[in-house]
Amino acid sequence: MRTRYTAASRKRKKKVLQRAKGFHGARSLRIKTAREAVMHALRYQYRDRRNRKRDYRALWITRINALVRENGLTYSRFIEGLTKANIAVNRKILSNLAIEDPAAFGEFVKIAKKNIGKTSQRGR
């Protein structure tokens, strides 16, 4: 009598079906379609973990741009002014400041406006 891998194969199938819980129709019941659905889901998960970072950065930039325009600047000129003033604050912090503490954000805008015409001091 030959040895069968029933325990191992059952474990593999069970693992796939556990991951496919909540999928619609056969995708959560049949092993072949479930395996395919899980593979796609994992691929999307991997991709979207990277895209999330991109999406948040775009959101922060949009928020900063909206508040900077209220103060008579554009986003790119604002960032240029901060760079020339040697102020290194990331977009996430600037976005939170713009929402939670507009007065402090206004100070950054003033500094940026003051430093727009100057030459950069970073490279020299």
Q: Which pLDDT score, from 0 to 100, does residue 123 have? A: 52
> Is residue 53 exposed (0-12), middle (13-18) or buried (19+ Cβ within 10 Å)?
exposed
Short-list 115, 36, 95, 105, CA closest to 71: 105
Spans of all domains in the chain: 7-115
Spans in the chain with pLDDT lower than 70: 119-124
Q: Encode pLDDT of 90-100 as tens digits.
A: 999 999 999 99
Q: Which pLDDT score, from 0 to 100, does residue 3 have? A: 74
Q: Which pLDDT score, from 0 to 100, does residue 93 have? A: 95
Q: Which pLDDT score, from 0 to 100, does residue 121 have? A: 57
For 31, residues 6+ apart whose C-beta sits below 8 A from its C-beta are 13, 16, 17
Q: Which pLDDT score, from 0 to 100, does residue 120 have? A: 58
Q: Which pLDDT score, from 0 to 100, does residue 79 have? A: 95
Q: Which pLDDT score, from 0 to 100, does residue 10 have? A: 92
CATH topology of domain 7-115: c-terminal domain of poly(a) binding protein (1.10.1900)
